[in-house]
Amino acid sequence: MTTRRELANAIRVLSMDAVQKANSGHPGAPMGMADIAEVLYNDYFSHNPKNPKWINRDRFVMSNGHGSMLPYSVLHLTGYDLSIDDLKAFRQLHSKTPGHPEYGYTAGIETTTGPLGQGITNAVGMALAEKILAAQFNKPGHTLVDHYTYVFLGDGCLMEGISHEACSFAGTLGLGKLICFYDDNNISIDGHVDGWFTDNTPKRFEAYGWQVLADVDGHDADAIKKAIDAARAETHKPTLICCKTIIGYGSPNKAGTHDVHGAPLGNDEIALVRQTLGWTAEPFVIPAEVYAGWDATAKGAAAEDAWTAQLAAYAAAYPTESAEFMRRMEGKLPANWSEIIGKAIETTNAKAESPATRVASKNALDLLAPSLPEFLGGSADLTPSNNTFNKASRYINPGDHKAQDFSGNYISYGVREFGMSAIMNGAALHGGLLPYGATFLMFSEYARNALRMAALMKTHNIFVYTHDSIGLGEDGPTHQPVEQIPTLRMIPRMSVWRACDSLETLISWKHAIEYQGPSCLIFSRQNLKFQQRTPEQIANIEKGGYILKDTDGTPDVIVIATGSEVELAMEAAAKSDKKVRVVSMPCTDVFDAQDAAYKESVLPAAVTARIAVEAAIPDGWYKYVGLNGKVIGMKTFGESAPAPQLFKEFGFTVDNVLATINSFA
């Protein structure tokens, strides 16, 4: 009979062989954590390799993503669609085994990890999603949602500040089905961590409200099993299992050193590892008995079949709830979505209100949210300013020492902009929820890498940013975004909307809800005038840029504007003696995706007298106005003063726009 250590050694040899073949990678973590993975997957982990998207599967996150050969090895060994040839192609172009785990490349990889600390934070989002969906759908005698989220993480993850944000939050929420294995090997790339990481990690996590199981021998299967049993028995707290491991376990000369962290072992050392482990098979050859010991296909199929029977019983007892559950898990919009959004557009246009777009955003949510129970809203401690709590919202964590209610749909994240955003990514990846989370636009800077990860993974979530410019006013330049909008637009796959009024605000929400990827919705603090439109203009808002005001014949000048600056452009155009076309461009990425004929109809190439107006860094607008065009934008940081004074100070006035229009011969 194959021993546990022999099964674990399969991970070790596959990992070191793949890294050696690629001449690149990190063999140390997979070799050090192999015994933990063996116990977890063979004794506890509920999954179906033949259906990696089974709804009620356990989730696994390799937060120390450089150790990617560990999950790749496990996926191959347990029966996923990941061949030995795929392992041989580790780190090669277009392979299923990229250098770090990439969501969407490999069946069974739940999230993209690599930027340390974000994997554990994604996992918090997954565990949160599981707890919310269980509260919303499980019924007495019918447990539909019931699974664990397991995480491997290392010293690097715990050094990153985001881990503090996420793990503190997870403890407060009592995410009892979140179980993390800390690879406590005292090594990072620079060497032994004693010179830069001396935290008392167990005490730190106890202070967060976690169950901590310290000093577990990460190479003793019985000790690991005992720890997992204790973790699963604690239902009210997440658990950190601190596993003492040896990085590069099995390497006679490099184990326990940083030499094995991020470099191939070398052929001579690999030969010694095989000798030390008693592994006689050639590289990339796994004995049949080892494959048999790992194969999870039969057990996985049985687990899914049992759940499918539960689903059928649930559907018989609760047909409406069952249909809603499946709709949400499949990521489909309500069947009457077209009717819902059509009525909302009609209502908003008829009211013709002129609030701040942050208020218009709440009004849009009031219209849409009752029909979208998958919404998981929230704010990083700015709910009254962001206006994200709507008439359909119910707090999960209401504060004031009130009981938590996980059947709710709104979260106070606290001052955790980065953590919030990465938690949203995890919740979106889990499925069944459509997260939106808010803060001031300026503080998107704290969250920037999570936004990039959202775009990289195409997660369907909505980042809401208010107080969008120097219009913030008295809080001063620390709170006034100037470079944020242009740089957000530079993120591939990120759809960025800056609305000029209540109708554009609603349309931005429509797009974000329908778009299969992340969106940034950017809203003002100050009131913005409603713009009257024809039915054709209303329809064209969804094209990202459209003619809001036109003139007879070919225009003399085209003025392009977004957000609060559209009103300036319209007033200046009305005062000019020239033939001025005003183009509102709430979303450049959507406009850029239109066909050439439509873009030419809005911005005819023959008209080179063009102006762009936006209270932000101007550089990105030159692709629309050309080298002969002009941009009224911010060339420096703002100042602390009332908004009207600031707009005048920095040239965002009707008179300045008019003068710029008239400057063209």
- In this predicted structure, what is the pLDDT of residue 401? 83
Distance CA 98, CA 203 (A): 36
Is 417 a residue of the active site? yes
| Catalytic option among 269, 417, 504, 565 | 417
**pLDDT digits 0-9 by tens, 323-372:** 999 999 999 999 999 999 999 999 999 999 999 999 999 999 999 999 99
Helix (H) or strand (E) holding 420: helix 417-430
Amino acid identity for residue 505 in this structure: T
Q: Write the pLDDT tens digit of every residue in 14-38.
A: 999 999 999 999 999 999 999 999 9
DSSP 370: G
Helix (H) or strand (E) run with residue 559 in it? strand 557-561
- Within 410-556, strands assigned E span 410-412, 434-440, 462-466, 495-498, 519-522, 546-549
Burial class (CB in 10 A: 0-12, 13-18, 19+), 116: buried
CB atoms within 10 A of CB 310: 15
Ranges of beta strands (E only) in 129-210 are 149-154, 178-184, 187-188, 191-192
pLDDT at 424: 98
| Cα gap 367→499, rounded to integer Å | 17
Q: What angle do CA 308, 311, 317 make, to 5 degrees?
A: 150
The DSSP letter of residue 611 is: E
Residue 499, amino acid: A
The whole-angstrom separation of Cα 189 and Cα 589 is 39
Q: What would the two tokens of residue 44 be?
A: 């506890």
Cβ 383 vs Cβ 358: under 8 Å: no
Beta bridge partners of 139: 142
The pLDDT-based confidence of 493 (bands split at 50, 70, 90) is: very high
Give the length of the chain. 665
Residues 354 and 504: their CA atoms lie apart, in Å, by 12
Give the model's pLDDT for residue 110. Answer: 98
Q: Which positions ≥6 away from 545 have C-beta within 8 Å? A: 560, 583, 584, 585, 586, 587, 588, 590, 591, 594, 602, 603
pLDDT of amino acid 141: 96
User: Across-strand partners of 375?
Assistant: 434
pTM of the model: 0.98
- Say if strands 630-632 and 191-192 run parallel, antiparallel, or are unpaired: unpaired
> Residue 665: pLDDT band by 50, 70, 90 thresholds?
confident
Query: What pLDDT digit, counting tens, does each position of 556-611 carry?
Result: 999 999 999 999 999 999 999 999 999 999 999 999 999 999 999 999 999 999 99
Amino acid found at 379: S
Give the per-residue pLDDT at 506.
98
Residue 514: how many CA atoms within 13 Å on its side-chain side? 12
Tokens at residue 293, please? 């010991």
Three-state secondary-structure class, residue 583: strand
Greater pLDDT, 398 or 90: 90
Letter for the amino acid at 314? Y
Average pLDDT over residues 217-236: 98
Angle at 234 between CA 231 and CA 239, to 5 degrees: 45
Alpha carbon of residue 490 to chain centroid:
17
Contact yes or no for 453/508 (Cβ under 8 A): no
Task: For the beta carbon of residue 19, count every other beta carbon within 10 angstroms.
Answer: 26
664 pLDDT tier (thresholds 50, 70, 90): very high
pLDDT value of position 1: 76
Mean pLDDT of all residues in 509-513: 98
Banded model confidence at residue 402, pLDDT cuts 50, 70, 90:
confident
One-letter amino acid at 205 equals F
Straight-line distance from the first to the last Cα atom of the chain, in angstroms, rounded to the nearest whole number? 89
Tokens read off for 53:
């998207």
CB 277 within 8 A of CB 269: no
Please tell me the predicted confidence (pLDDT) of residue 399: 85
Neighbours of 514 (CB within 10 A): 13
Q: Which amino acid is at 605?
A: A
> Chain-wide mean pLDDT for the chain?
97
Contact between 573 and 549 under an 8 Å Cβ cutoff? The reply is: yes
Secondary structure class of 340 (helix, strand, coil): helix
Cα separation, 326 vs 56, whole angstroms: 12
With a pLDDT cut of 70, the percent of the chain lying above it is: 100
CA–CA dist 126, 431 (Å, integer):
9
Q: Are 538 and 559 in contact (CB under 8 A)?
A: no
Tokens 């009892």, located at residue = 176
Instruction: For residue range 98-120, list pLDDT tens digits in order.
Output: 999 999 999 999 999 999 999 99
pLDDT over threshold 90, residue 300 = yes
Please give the Cα distance from 410 to 570 (Å, whole number).
38
What does the pLDDT read at residue 323? Answer: 98
Average pLDDT over residues 84-102: 98
